[in-house]
Structure 1
Amino acid sequence: MLSKGILPISLITAALWFAACKQKQQAPQGPPPATPVTLYEVKAFQSTYADDYPGILVPLNQTELRSQVTGYVTGIYFKDGDKVKKGQRLYSIDAQLYDANYQNAIANMQVQETNLVKAQKDADRYNELDRQDAIAKQQVDYANAALEAAKKQVEAAKANVRSVQANVRFANITAPFDGTIGISQVRVGTSVVAGQTVMNTVSTDNPMAVDITIDQKDLYRFSLLSQNKNLVKDSVITISFGGLKYDHPGTISVMDRAVDPQTGTLKVRLSFPNAKSLLKAGMNTIVHIQNPAGHDEMVIPYKAVVEQLGEFFVYVAGDSSKAFQRKIKLGKQLDSTIIVKSGLSAGDKIVVQGVQNVREGAVINPAPQK
């Protein structure tokens, strides 16, 4: 059995322990330790960089070859992939039927011309007799009417000759312009239908065009580039394929007439020389348009930027060694750095390392800048 003196001693000990804990909890806490960071002093300098746009190569001129007459292919007068000249004969269609129709039209025209000669003589003779009052007026009217009918028939016969002659001419398909012809879709003996059968495609390839789509905010800049040759010299336009750069710079060929109201974009066509035929229609490329250094810009390390709900901030070192958030507007990213359009000034010191540990108004402990 415990002695009566032990219980009071235990109670006293417990009371002292609780009092010590309470005193410890009520002890005032010191300020949080300063967050170690590395600062970067913002500087302004002129930067040159290229804006990149995905593009696709297209010929400046391209057309599908279709026969305007129905028949069988009787001749092919080129090799697939040849360079062709305007007016060069490419295909021939069986023209026997059209030749026969043409000869028939010629014969009919000659008959109508003979009838016209006879009608003219009759009209002349009857009009002479009419002046001598030696013939009935009605016969003179008949002769003049027959003459006019004969003239109309000759005109109709000539029109028919021109129509049939066109079919004979259409039986020979020629190149519409200088360019490169593709792989033939028909062979000798193939039946083609007028206006339907695609026989081949001819396109130009020097120069070659590249189509890109730009945002409407870039429209003013491209308009200046298309009108001012001096700006084009400073803003070099180049293309690359998988990191390989094409040697020859391009120019702005044409800009679409209006901005697409649904997408807010505009189509722009560029032109590139292609004397060695290295560029082929349908190729995908990246267009680089050099942005000339026109004024000083603020460039900071990209790792200093904090994104919150689609907006961008940096922590700026303020008075009393505290860091405060500042909203910025970003421009072009240049590798590990980025251009700041607004929000910072030269001489501002921003946090570049330890950003994830900094909070608004937090005390910071800057390390020596490397």
Structure 2
Amino acid sequence: MKNTYIYCIAAMALLTVSSCGSKGPKQDAAPPATPVNVTEAKKADAIYYDKYQGTVVALNSVELRSQVSGFITGIFFKEGDVVTKGAPLYEIDRRKYVAAYEQAKANLLSAKANLSKAQKDIDRYNMLLKNDAVARQTVDQATAAFETSQSQVAVAQAGVSSAATDLSYATIRAPFTGRIGISQVKLGAQVSPGTTLLNTISTGNPIGVDVVINEQDISRFYKIQKAGTDTTFRLQLPDGTTFNKTGKIFAIDRGVNDQTGTIKVRVQFPNEHDELKDGMSCVLQVLNDNSGDRVQIPYKAITEQMGEFFVFISKDTIAEQRKVKIGQRIQSNVIVLDGVKPGEKVITEGFQRLRDGGKITLGPPAGAAPAGKDGKSAPAAK
């Protein structure tokens, strides 16, 4: 009886353990597939530009300064207007320079008269010397006086030229056709030669834009210069608008700055309507070499890890993680230079919980799809 009781208890214990084990979770059950949204990688026209901070500069600009002293007696232009080459701009009191010029001309006439007298004397003395009617010493003295008179004429001619030059400097003329600025002096102001700034004149059409580039970009700009294209450069103005004309390279500086490793490039733009002003700040946009028909995917599909970029590609029910090389962003998309081919399915939502080789199912991740009017979830993108 006692043994029978023990056997019954053991059987009941085995049944209890078996029943508890059958109700527990299976340890080797596979994780469920992750719902994701995908989009197809497509080729599209991608035109984009690299940006460089630039400054508008006149291709020719000159500060006007007087070369003679005196008082301003005339101003013959309207400030801000375009003046033509040779047009009179300022006049400095001419009276003393006119007097000096007239005096120099009189000195020249006197020197020429003395030369004429010395010429006649030497001719007469030479004739007398042939008849032995005058001493040789007298002829030599007349010859010396003639040569002295010749040098005095040369000095007087140089004096006339100098006085004429000073007189011409009393009227300051435009060295080239360009736009003149606001005058720095008024009528009656005293000016000193070489020091007093009168005004600045500069050309406005065409006009240049100076940018500083790294030495690594030099070969790129030399290629653009050699090609001679005028569609590579665009200009963004300070108000954010884009200038309606394209430019081309005017000059690349002679050498690289050994302190900064940079070089200056000047790009020329037409400026018929005088929209670009000397000294204006702007942004030079240079057409990127990778522009063209490129593979694009949504930027939100990109993940970054340690400075490298990755995406997940849908391979039927498997997610494949792939390293990619990306380019410029185009609005909500990004250019993929390498790693994704056109037509491949890129996972755009739900990849945060994925690993390489993880199982997926097409459908909106939890909370990702907006609800429709009827309260149901919107259909997944395919």
**TM-score normalised by structure 2 residue count:** 0.76
Cα deviation code 1:125-155 (max 9, x no counterpart)? 3333444455444433333222222211211
- Tell me if 1:141 matches 2:136: no
Label 1:28 to 1:103 Cα distance change in 2 as closer, same or farther (>3 A): same
- Paired amino acid for 2:282: T
**Structure 1 residue 75: deviation in Å?**
1.2
**Structure 1 residue 178: deviation in Å?**
1.2
Label 1:325 to 1:161 Cα distance change in 2 as closer, same or farther (>3 A): same
CA RMSD of the aligned region, Å? 3.3
- Tell me if 1:365 matches 2:379: no
**Structure 1 residue 309: deviation in Å?**
4.3
- Paired amino acid for 1:339: I
- Is the CA contact (8 Å cut-off) linking 1:317 and 1:324 kept in structure 2? no
Structure 2 equivalent of residue 243 of structure 1:
240
Q: Distance in 2 between matches of 1:367 and 1:262?
A: 57
Label 1:339 to 1:259 Cα distance change in 2 as closer, same or farther (>3 A): farther
Structure 2 equivalent of residue 100 of structure 1:
99
Aligned length: 342
- Tell me if 1:341 matches 2:337: yes
- Paired amino acid for 1:365: I
Q: Distance in 1 between matches of 2:36 and 2:362?
A: 6
- Tell me if 1:275 matches 2:272: yes
Q: Distance in 1 between matches of 2:252 and 2:135?
A: 75
Structure 2 equivalent of residue 192 of structure 1:
191
**Structure 1 residue 77: deviation in Å?**
1.3
**Structure 1 residue 43: deviation in Å?**
3.9
Q: Distance in 2 between matches of 1:262 and 1:351?
A: 47
* Partner SS, residue 230 of structure 2: helix
- Is the CA contact (8 Å cut-off) linking 2:51 and 2:285 kept in structure 1? yes
Structure 1 equivalent of residue 124 of structure 2:
125
- Is the CA contact (8 Å cut-off) linking 2:317 and 2:361 kept in structure 1? no
Label 1:294 to 1:330 Cα distance change in 2 as closer, same or farther (>3 A): closer
Structure 1 equivalent of residue 230 of structure 2:
232
Structure 2 equivalent of residue 113 of structure 1:
112
**Structure 1 residue 196: deviation in Å?**
0.6
- Is the CA contact (8 Å cut-off) linking 1:318 and 1:324 kept in structure 2? no
Structure 2 equivalent of residue 332 of structure 1:
328
- Paired amino acid for 2:326: L
Q: Distance in 2 between matches of 1:213 and 1:333?
A: 24
Q: Distance in 1 between matches of 2:335 and 2:256?
A: 27
**Structure 1 residue 301: deviation in Å?**
2.3
Label 1:130 to 1:315 Cα distance change in 2 as closer, same or farther (>3 A): farther
Label 1:193 to 1:311 Cα distance change in 2 as closer, same or farther (>3 A): farther
**Structure 1 residue 115: deviation in Å?**
1.7
* Partner SS, residue 213 of structure 1: strand
Structure 1 equivalent of residue 158 of structure 2:
159
Aligned with 1:305 (options 299, 302, 305) = 302
Range moving further from structure 2, 205-214 or 153-162:
205-214
- Is the CA contact (8 Å cut-off) linking 2:312 and 2:319 kept in structure 1? no
- Is the CA contact (8 Å cut-off) linking 2:297 and 2:335 kept in structure 1? yes
- Is the CA contact (8 Å cut-off) linking 1:43 and 1:346 kept in structure 2? yes
Report sequence identity in percent. 42
Structure 2 equivalent of residue 7 of structure 1:
none
- Paired amino acid for 1:65: L
- Is the CA contact (8 Å cut-off) linking 2:38 and 2:345 kept in structure 1? yes
Structure 2 equivalent of residue 14 of structure 1:
none
Q: Distance in 1 between matches of 2:351 and 2:152?
A: 95
Aligned with 2:249 (options 230, 252, 271) = 252
Label 1:40 to 1:131 Cα distance change in 2 as closer, same or farther (>3 A): farther
For structure 1, the 5+ residue unaligned runs are 1-19
- Is the CA contact (8 Å cut-off) linking 1:240 and 1:287 kept in structure 2? no
Range moving further from structure 2, 252-261 or 101-110:
252-261
Label 1:295 to 1:209 Cα distance change in 2 as closer, same or farther (>3 A): closer
- Is the CA contact (8 Å cut-off) linking 2:90 and 2:173 kept in structure 1? yes
- Is the CA contact (8 Å cut-off) linking 2:72 and 2:190 kept in structure 1? yes
Structure 1 equivalent of residue 57 of structure 2:
58
- Is the CA contact (8 Å cut-off) linking 1:47 and 1:297 kept in structure 2? yes
Label 1:60 to 1:74 Cα distance change in 2 as closer, same or farther (>3 A): same
**TM-score normalised by structure 1 residue count:** 0.78
Q: Distance in 2 between matches of 1:220 and 1:56?
A: 22
- Paired amino acid for 1:121: K
* Partner SS, residue 176 of structure 1: coil
- Paired amino acid for 2:338: S
For structure 2, the 5+ residue unaligned runs are 1-19, 364-380
